[in-house]
Amino acid sequence: MATLPKQANAVIIGQGGIVGASVAHHMIGHGWDGLVGLEASAIPSDVGSTSHASDFCYMTSHDKMSCYTTTYSQRFYEARGHYNRIGGMEVARVDDDARMEELKRKVGSGKAFGTNAHLIGPSEAKERFPLLEEGLIQGAMWDPDAGLVVPRSQRVAGELVDEAVASGRLQAFANTPALAIDVHDGRVQGVETHKGYIATPVVIVTCGIWGPLVAGMGGAHLPLMPVEHPLLFFGPYDAFAGTGREIGYPLFRDQGNSAYLRDTGDPSTSEGGQIEWGYYEPTEPRLVYPQDIASKEEARLSPSMRDLDADQVMSAYERALEITPVLGDLGWDEKSSFNGLLSVTPDGGSLVGESPETRGLWFCEAVWVKDGPGMGKVFADWISLGRPELDPHGIDIARFYPVQKTRGHVYDRCLETARKIYDPPVHPREPYESGRNLRRSPFWPREQALGGYFMEAGGWER
């Protein structure tokens, strides 16, 4: 067993997930050495969101940074032989004109930001995805570059860490949680573990749903909440038996029902022979405080995999039967289905950059698998060169003022974000309803009397 070093150029807390692994990989690409990675569980992680993520990659978004990081990640996974470019579609039902308009806007954003998405009609959608009831949709967006990380992003994370360790630039320690972050005069000095103390000027937090707890050790506030994401499996499904495929049909999104679906390929593959159906609760999503996440010993499956209540999904499942009737023909695998925890933030963006409260404390948090390697590059460019390739204002952790990091504000905004992960369509400039009227100018009463419509930024009504 390797001995914990007494000092490091940087310590990464949360080394076992795809984000921590990508950060280390790209920092080494910039010449960093003397890195130490700490992981509270195994490496790759067997408890974090990476261990059970659906591993979808869609290129399209209304956000330029997201298109950049996802496209980079897709190419990164593919270059390593860990990507199946199977394609993916998002459909609009016949009674959902608002969703169809959103698909048109999304194609426009995708073209503006360099993706290859385009619209297709119901017959082509049916041809590409035979499980679909063609008569129930008016159209779809087709993303030819969408696909699946195979066999899993968890495997990629493990490979990246192994390569970084083999380079001699990273020492990684599994089952070694950070117990405290040493801060003096507002600057990081080191990290305490049960194996000893590591002196370091830089601590990087990539702990996902546990991020706020680790940030608190360093005197910082990380505005993030874990939310439950129901994930159900149906089977057996043997349409791809004997093919050896990890996935046979394209990815499928029915965002008007706040749901998605994919097959898991050949029954002989590691997770094959099923249909996976995921759902994001649009009315009452279940947020979880990080301190209430179960320990590894207490959890039935994993700390980031909570038990599923069938009532959570029943109405959406019944609607799903209309558009993909195959779900009704297959049995529900109750034991394998669960609520996976993922991170949401007060404005839906990732949390990256140096903490404004503590110098030397850096974050790369609230990052989806589809963005993992790309965000690792953005982070490494930022910490190494002083800035990333694109303006990071939308992901910069410093974008939040203290009033926006209070417990109540974070909870309310994260709840509203969670309601809008898939449905309803959200305009990029749509204001939040919660956390309003925190700050008003002296002119606010007169502006209101004159019929002013207020937008909010930085807690201010403007």
Which CATH number belongs to the domain containing residue 275 in this structure? Answer: 3.30.9.10
3-state secondary structure of 431: coil
pLDDT-flagged residues of the chain (< 50): none
What is the C-alpha to C-alpha distance for residues 45 and 23, in angstroms, rounded to an integer? 15
Q: Are residues 16 and 159 in the same domain?
A: yes
Domain that holds residue 232: 225-344
Give the end of a domain, one of 327, 344, 361: 344
Query: Which residue type, as a one-letter code, is found at position 365?
Result: E
3-state secondary structure of 428: coil
Which CATH number belongs to the domain containing residue 364 in this structure? Answer: 3.50.50.60
**So what's the pLDDT on residue 320?**
97
CA dihedral 213, 217, 219, 222 (to 10 degrees): -20
Closest by CA position to 146, among listed 72, 56, 62: 56
Q: Are residues 264 and 189 in the same domain?
A: no
Residue 252 lies in a domain: yes
Residue 379 lies in a domain: yes
Supply 447's token pair. Answer: 């502006």
Question: How high does pLDDT run on average in the chain?
Answer: 95
Helices 64-79 and 372-385: angle between axes, nearest 10 degrees: 110
Query: Which residue type, as a one-letter code, is found at position 75?
Result: R
Supply 148's token pair. Answer: 């699946």
What is the C-alpha to C-alpha distance for residues 112 and 192, in angstroms, rounded to an integer? 47
Q: State how far Cα 362 lies from the chain centre.
A: 18
Q: Are residues 295 and 394 in the same domain?
A: no
3-state secondary structure of 286: coil
Query: Which residue type, as a one-letter code, is found at position 351?
Result: L
Q: Are residues 394 and 369 in the same domain?
A: yes
Q: Are residues 219 and 229 in the same domain?
A: no
Q: Going by C-beta distance under 8 Å and a sequence separation of 6 or more, which residues neighbour residue 164?
A: 21, 24, 25, 28, 35, 37, 170, 172
Residue 282 lies in a domain: yes
Closest by CA position to 405, among listed 345, 338, 330: 345
Q: Are residues 45 and 158 in the same domain?
A: yes
**So what's the pLDDT on residue 1?**
53
CB-based contact 182:190 (threshold 8 Å): yes
Q: Are residues 256 and 372 in the same domain?
A: no
Peptide bond into 151 cis (omega under 30): yes
Instruction: Transcribe 241-278 into DSSP letters.
Output: TTS--S--SPEEEEGGGTEEEEE---TTSTT-S-EEEE
Residue 354 lies in a domain: yes
Largest pairwise CA distance in the chain: 72
Q: Are residues 369 and 229 in the same domain?
A: no
Name the DSSP letter for residue 3. P
**So what's the pLDDT on residue 22?**
98
**So what's the pLDDT on residue 113?**
95
CB-based contact 186:361 (threshold 8 Å): no
How many Cα neighbours within 13 Å face the side chain of 452? 14
**So what's the pLDDT on residue 425?**
84
3-state secondary structure of 164: helix
CB-based contact 369:53 (threshold 8 Å): yes
Q: Are residues 213 and 192 in the same domain?
A: yes
Supply 98's token pair. Answer: 């608002």
Q: Are residues 212 and 168 in the same domain?
A: yes
Q: Going by C-beta distance under 8 Å and a sequence separation of 6 or more, which residues neighbour residue 284?
A: none
Q: Are residues 179 and 210 in the same domain?
A: yes
What is the C-alpha to C-alpha distance for residues 60 and 72, in angstroms, rounded to an integer? 13
Residue 24 lies in a domain: yes
Residue 179 lies in a domain: yes
Give the end of a domain, one of 360, 375, 399: 399
**So what's the pLDDT on residue 239?**
95
Q: Give the count of domains, the chain.
A: 3
Q: Are residues 321 and 299 in the same domain?
A: yes
Residue 85 lies in a domain: no
Instruction: Transcribe 203-226 into DSSP letters.
Output: EEE--GGGHHHHHHHTT-----EE
Residue written as token pair 């910490």: 383
Overall size of the chain counted in residues: 462
Q: Going by C-beta distance under 8 Å and a sequence separation of 6 or more, which residues neighbour residue 203?
A: 10, 11, 13, 181, 188, 191, 218, 360, 361, 362
Do strands 10-13 and 35-38 pair parallel, antiparallel, or not at all (unpaired)? parallel
Residue 65 lies in a domain: no
